[in-house]
Amino acid sequence: MSTIAQQFGMQEALHALGIKEINDGTSTGSNSFSSGPIIESYSPVDGQLIGKVKTTTAADYEKVMQSATEAFKFFRAMPAPQRGEIVRQFGNKLRELKEPLGKLVSYEMGKSLQEGYGEVQEMIDICDFAVGLSRQLNGQTIPSERPGHVMREQWHSIGVVGIISAFNFPVAVWSWNTALAWICGDVCVWKGSEKAPICTIACQNIIAEVLKANNLPEGISCIVNGDYTVGEMITNDTRIPLVSATGSTRMGRIVGAKVAERFGKSLLELGGNNAIIITPTADLKVVVPGAVFGAVGTAGQRCTSTRRLIIHESVYDKVRDAIVGAYGQLTIGNPLDQKNHIGPLIDTDAVNTYLAAIEKAKAEGGKVLVEGGVLSGEGYESGCYVKPAIIEAENHFEIVQHETFAPILYLMKYEGEVENAIDLQNGVAQGLSSAIMTNSMKEAEKFLSFAGSDCGIANVNIGTSGAEIGGAFGGEKETGGGRESGSDAWKVYMRRQTNTVNYSDQLPLAQGIKFDL
């Protein structure tokens, strides 16, 4: 075990999460049935091997699906408040294990320890939300046009929910889906990212313990391990009526088309190309932390990361200088050490993508304000640490039009009224998160109006990153249109049914149709 892992108690954290071996251990997690080739998980923090995970073969997958489909027959008949009680217990286990699970997220994925803890807190919060919701899966009564009749709507469990999640939030996004799916009476089959498989196993171990303590079928929560070929098993499976997939737009196009082809439902959370508009009345005390955290938090590997600052020409120089100055205060290094603001990218492939994007921006005419580059030397042995870069650019640059999952921030000017800035913000293919910094009520309301931001998330005087679970999370255009987490997102995990009951001794037909015999 590395010095960093020892110093920050990773061995103890893994043991607390039911993962008994490190470096030479192989684990599949409860109810994964995996027996295929090995995935090795290396930490981007120090380049050290964390553990090994067996991948799921086609035969293994069939065992998982048999377990899940049998469990669904039982679970859907369980009253929703009782299902909520299981989620409550799961949330309490997460409270107990917040520290070790947060450490594992930080060590395996590379985000700061505070962000690792925050991700587990999101899991706890969605459990709390779901527990209350388990007593509110309400339908409605609808007036009937026929005498002696009543119409109703009710909601039923949908079945096995397939979840495909990404490395950047290796535990939270799964919980957004599962907590709601479980209280709706669904069971889940989860393919976590092959770049953070130990996190997947840790979560499965936690819920498996809760299910066992309540004498419930383990098939309520299943995992499969592996690359995109394992995800394809979920995508193509007609026994899975809903696939929730988080990842790139490229991946979403494939998943959405395949699921639609078999008339399934898909919930897609895809790429973002998020902007903050900074108007002449914006308060720099709000602008600087909001923009900087949005751009460099999780090393720019959030789908809600701030990619573009659209700054009014009258305050451009002042804002630019303040942001550049703040970048000079950032510390980069071991994310388990809380004095550091920024950890590593997930792997060297991500580093190469980052470097290529900077060169592309330069080639298109971008002006580098804060130089990027790869860090080396003591503490940076993994080769995954990079410097956040700031580049003056134009919105129409090809590289600006695409999402780069790295800490690269593009600065650009707008002239005239706020509508011009909104046009720039909306002038990309993605539509996830957006923000405006202003003290003008008129500008804020224009930004939030039907003619304003075209994103699923639109914020005023906060950044693009850091959503709360109470609101529905998701975006439009190439972001996929899905909604997870709060509000009425639960409805996607259920099927709607309209009922008409005739309690009279006549049979009047709708629309007054006569059919006399």
Q: Report the catalytic residues.
A: 269
Strand partners, 140: 153
Helical segments of 135-283, H only: 172-183, 197-213, 228-235, 249-261
Q: Which two tokens stand for residue 507?
A: 């049979």
Q: Which among 367, 374, 382 is positioned nearest to 351, based on CA atoms? A: 374
CA angle 388, 296, 435 (to 5 degrees): 125
β-strands 476-477, 430-431: how paired?
A: antiparallel
Exposure on the CB side of residue 48, measured as CA atoms within 13 A: 17
Identify any residues that bridge with 157 across adjacent strands, giving them in sequence order: 494
Partners of 38 in beta bridges: 54
| Alpha-carbon gap, residue 342 to 340, rounded angstroms | 6
H helix intervals, 328-398:
348-363
Cβ atoms within 10 Å of 299's Cβ, excluding its own: 32
- Which residues have C-beta within 8 Å of that of residue 117, sequence separation ≥ 6? 98, 99, 102
Q: Long-range contacts for 248-254 (Cβ within 8 Å, ≥24 apart)?
A: 248/403, 249/403, 249/429, 249/430, 249/478, 249/479, 249/480, 252/478, 252/480
d(CA 465, CA 460): 12
Backbone angles phi, psi at 459, to 5 degrees: -115, 150
The strand ranges marked E within 96-235 are 140-142, 149-157, 160-164, 187-191, 221-224
Q: Any bridge partners for residue 269, and if so which?
A: 246
Pairing of strands 476-477, 494-502: unpaired
Q: Residue type at 133?
A: L
